[in-house]
Amino acid sequence: MFQAVRDEWPEPMDQLAPQALTRMLKASADPTSLRLLVLLAEGELNVTDLTRILDQSQPRVSRHLKLLVEAGLVERFRDGSWVFFNLAERGAGRRLTELVVALADGG
């Protein structure tokens, strides 16, 4: 399984800065962050949706989203007055989220 991930990685793994990989892994390690990644794998959502689904406070959800965005695992975009989140569309963040979500789903 890991060889397949290595073969499909969009950039040579040795060129991915260890600090960037560490930041991505740390951001996805928390149970709330992991749940956010699994939810966002289904499609874009806003903070209101996520707080309702997770039954957690808005500041807590926003903090986890901020860390996931900074790590390059999640993207943020504005549509009028609403802010939506989805998984990173490309790069190392995308490949890592695919692997993390697959493992979280029992794959």
Structure confidence by residue, pLDDT tens digits, 1-30: 445 545 555 555 556 678 888 899 999 999
**What pLDDT is attached to residue 106?**
77
**What pLDDT is attached to residue 21?**
87
**pTM for this predicted structure:** 0.81
**What pLDDT is attached to residue 62?**
97
> What does the chain come to in residues?
107
**What pLDDT is attached to residue 58?**
96
**What pLDDT is attached to residue 76?**
97
